[in-house]
Amino acid sequence: MVNRILLFFLLSMFISQAQAANGLKNTSGNDNLAVNQAVTGRIGNADAHLHISQYTDVARFWQASHAGDSLQSVTRTKAHHFLKKAILPTSLIATGLVTMAVPKQTVLSKYRIHDTMHDWNPTFHTTADDYLLFAPAVVTLGLGAMGVKGRNDFLNQSLLFTKAELLMSVMVYGIKYATRVERPYGGVFTSFPSGHTAQAFLSATFLAKEYGHISPWISVAGYATATGVGMLRMMNNQHWISDVLAGAGVGILSVEFVYLTHQHRCGKKNNLVFAPALYHKGGGVSMAMTF
């Protein structure tokens, strides 16, 4: 009887230890599973994060590339637009150079054209060309000052006109002193190009840019005035036709370039007044600013 009790007790202990060992094994398996799941989750999150990061980088790269392409496209469009606008003025300058290069006896020679014009009226003289060259610009700035809506507000009109004047002056006087072409009346070597004509066509182009959209006759009137200034410069024996053609090209080109590059637009407060000033024997520029 005692042996049976002892055997039963040993079997009970063995079964208890086996169950405990099995429970420990299951617990360890669950823990391992939890660890594996945690590790897998972390790896999955890392992969997801890496995927999102890569996606973000690609998106940013695409946006930057797209922005760069857009900027290049805008730049190319502006350059193409300027090249189209530059055809006329560069053609005028080239034609003026042709009249200087051909032999004196040919029809296109500046000497032949000069002699033909002065045969009509050798004693002709007027000072109208000293005043008409500013007329289109005065009209433009006057309309802007009165509040007539143009392409730009009055302040930006003044800035554009100022920059065009500076560019035109640098080009005209730089070419004059580089080429040193003698004037028709002789003794003075500042003939090419004509500064009066450059100023007149700058003013006409400025008027056409700001108010030519209202009516084409506004542009026609401006360019007719500028052409008259060029003709008077030749009839007054001040310039050759080559000087007038080149001056017209420089004036137009200056305005086109300034309008292309004028990016920083100021506010619309009319605190700056800039306009040509006309005198008895010449002209200048007047400017007033309120603070």
Are residues 192 and 260 located together in one domain of the fold? yes
- Judge whether 246 and 93 are in contact, CB under 8 Å: yes
- Judge whether 124 and 236 are in contact, CB under 8 Å: yes
Out of 85, 108, 126, pick the residue that ends a domain: 85
Containing structural domain, residue 16: 1-85
Q: Which tokens sit at 175?
A: 């070419």
Are residues 68 and 141 located together in one domain of the fold? no
The secondary structure of the chain as a DSSP string is -HHHHHHHHHHHHHHHHHHHHHHHHHHHHHHHHHHHHHHHHHHHHHHHHHHHHHHHHHHHHHHHHHHHHHHHHHHHHHHHHHHHHTHHHHHHHHHHHHHHHS-TTSTT-HHHHHHHHHHH-TT---STHHHHTTHHHHHHHHHHHTT---SS-HHHHHHHHHHHHHHHHHHHHHHHHHH-PPPTTSS----SS-HHHHHHHHHHHHHHHHHTTT-HHHHHHHHHHHHHHHHHHHHTTS--HHHHHHHHHHHHHHHHHHHHH------S---EEEEEEEETTEEEEEEEE--
Are residues 67 and 97 located together in one domain of the fold? no
How does 223-244 read in b/e, with b if 16+ C-beta sit within 10 Å? bebbbbbbebbbbbbbbbbbbb
Q: Which tokens sit at 183?
A: 């004037």
Out of 85, 101, 127, pick the residue that ends a domain: 85
Q: How many CB atoms lie within 10 A of CB 168?
A: 24
What are 145-182's pLDDT values in tens digits?
Answer: 999 999 999 999 999 999 999 999 999 999 999 999 99
pTM: 0.69
Q: 194, exposed or middle or buried, with CB in 10 Å at 0-12, 13-18, 19+?
A: buried
Q: What is the pLDDT of residue 83?
A: 87
Are residues 17 and 120 located together in one domain of the fold? no
Are residues 63 and 102 located together in one domain of the fold? no
Are residues 78 and 164 located together in one domain of the fold? no
Are residues 149 and 180 located together in one domain of the fold? yes
CATH of the domain at 164: 1.20.144
Are residues 93 and 81 located together in one domain of the fold? no
Out of 85, 109, 130, pick the residue that ends a domain: 85
Q: What is the pLDDT of residue 286?
A: 56
Are residues 276 and 165 located together in one domain of the fold? yes
Are residues 159 and 264 located together in one domain of the fold? yes
Question: Total domain count for the chain?
Answer: 2
Regions in the chain scoring below 70 on pLDDT: 1-75, 78, 264-291
**Closest residue by Cα to residue 268 from 159, 140, 138:** 159
Taking the C-alpha atoms of residue 281 and residue 285, their distance in angstroms, rounded to an integer, is 14
Q: What is the pLDDT of residue 93?
A: 97
- Judge whether 158 and 276 are in contact, CB under 8 Å: no
Q: What is the pLDDT of residue 28?
A: 45
Are residues 43 and 104 located together in one domain of the fold? no
Taking the C-alpha atoms of residue 208 and residue 217, their distance in angstroms, rounded to an integer, is 9
Are residues 270 and 256 located together in one domain of the fold? yes
Q: Which tokens sit at 130?
A: 């000293």
